[in-house]
């Protein structure tokens, strides 16, 4: 089912200009979104990774590290959250640089709240990891259309459940997923069996995607769950 214009979608605003940040926070909150605001690139990158927002509204010129670099870093680690860049320049070169860094779209300052809302809605209608995009983490890729999984050049054959488990992990890179979350997402709410099944499948998955000599990607967080991390 496509996501409705969810009134509870979470938007992370990374903007150092206090007045604009406040304007965005007020306007977006009024529209029913949950909004969090951070004022520099380093904090913004951290927030994008830990808060798992549905969309990031990212200023280009930021203290610490630039918006472009924040975006690049997110994509490098496989984070596919929709990113809308806010820039003061509408030059073609700037547009190209933004898209190359992995931004989905951008708005040119000064923009109207209406214009911004229209763009935000486009991206919130498509859930993360939309079926057209490959999921990428380090040298691991998963294509949701062909269901093809590769570690580097090596093709990996997975069973249906292993595939669902890996896909769930890859949709939430660097985010610790609890055993309960994994169980509900991959096996469904009504799963009545033994939750040790997760360990069993993680072991299968590791055997297939972490061949001898390859870096470990699936890390165990003892007593909690699992995380995809290099
Ligand atoms: Ca700025």
Please, what are the averages of pLDDT over each run of 10 residues along the chain (230 residues)?
A: 57 97 96 95 96 95 94 91 88 78 87 89 64 74 84 91 93 90 84 82 95 93 92
How buried is residue 147: exposed, middle or buried, by Cβ count under 10 Å (0-12/13-18/19+)?
exposed
For residue 104, the CA-to-ligand 1 centroid distance in Å is 19
Look at residue 126 in the predicted model and tell me its pLDDT: 54
Spatial separation of the C-alpha atoms in residues 180 and 137, rounded to whole Å:
23
Burial of residue 166 (CB within 10 Å: 0-12, 13-18, 19+) is: buried
* The pLDDT of residue 107: 87
Helical pair 41-50 and 67-76, crossing angle rounded to 10 deg = 30
Nearest CA among 193, 141, 189, 139 for reference residue 166: 141
In angstroms, what is the span from residue 20 Cα to ligand 1's centroid? Answer: 9
| 158 alpha carbon – ligand 1 mean position (Å) | 45
pLDDT confidence of residue 97 = 84
How far is residue 130 from each of residues 41, 47, 89, 123, 205, measured CA to CA in Å? 26, 22, 29, 10, 23
pLDDT at 127: 52
Calculate how far, in angstroms, residue 60's C-alpha sits from the geometric centre of ligand 1.
Answer: 6
- 193 Cβ neighbours under 8 A, 6+ residues apart: 187
**CA 109 to centroid of ligand 1, rounded, Å:** 10
Cα(16) to centroid of ligand 1, in Å?
A: 5
Q: What is the pLDDT of residue 133?
A: 61
Ligand 1 centre distance from Cα of residue 175 (Å) = 28
Which domains are delineated in the chain?
3-124 (3.40.50.2300), 135-228 (1.10.10.10)
For residue 22, how far is its CA from the centre of ligand 1 (angstroms)? 13
**pLDDT at site 168:** 93
């Amino acid at each position: 089912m496509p996501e409705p214009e969810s009134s509870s979608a979470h938007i992370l605003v990374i903007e150092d200009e206090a007045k604009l940040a406040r304007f965005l926070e007020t306007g977006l909150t009024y529209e029913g979104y949950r909004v969090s605001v951070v004022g520099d690139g380093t904090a913004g990158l951290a927030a994008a990774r830990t808060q798992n927002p549905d969309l990031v509204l990212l200023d280009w010129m930021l203290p610490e590290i630039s918006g472009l670099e924040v975006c690049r870093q997110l994509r490098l680690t496989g984070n596919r959250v929709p990113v809308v860049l806010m820039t003061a320049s509408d030059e073609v070169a700037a547009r190209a640089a933004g898209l190359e860094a992995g931004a989905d779209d951008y708005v040119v300052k000064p923009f109207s709240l209406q214009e911004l809302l229209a763009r935000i809605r486009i991206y919130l209608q498509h859930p993360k990891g939309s079926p057209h995009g490959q999921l990428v983490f380090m040298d691991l890729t998963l294509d949701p259309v062909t269901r093809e999984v590769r570690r580097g050049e090596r093709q990996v054959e997975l069973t249906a459940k292993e595939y669902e488990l890996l896909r769930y992990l890859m949709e939430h890179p660097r985010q610790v997923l609890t055993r309960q979350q994994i169980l509900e997402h991959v096996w469904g709410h009504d799963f009545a069996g033994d939750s040790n099944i997760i360990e069993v499948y993680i072991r299968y998955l590791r055997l297939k995607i972490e061949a001898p000599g390859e870096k470990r990607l699936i890390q165990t967080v003892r007593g909690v769950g699992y995380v995809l991390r290099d």
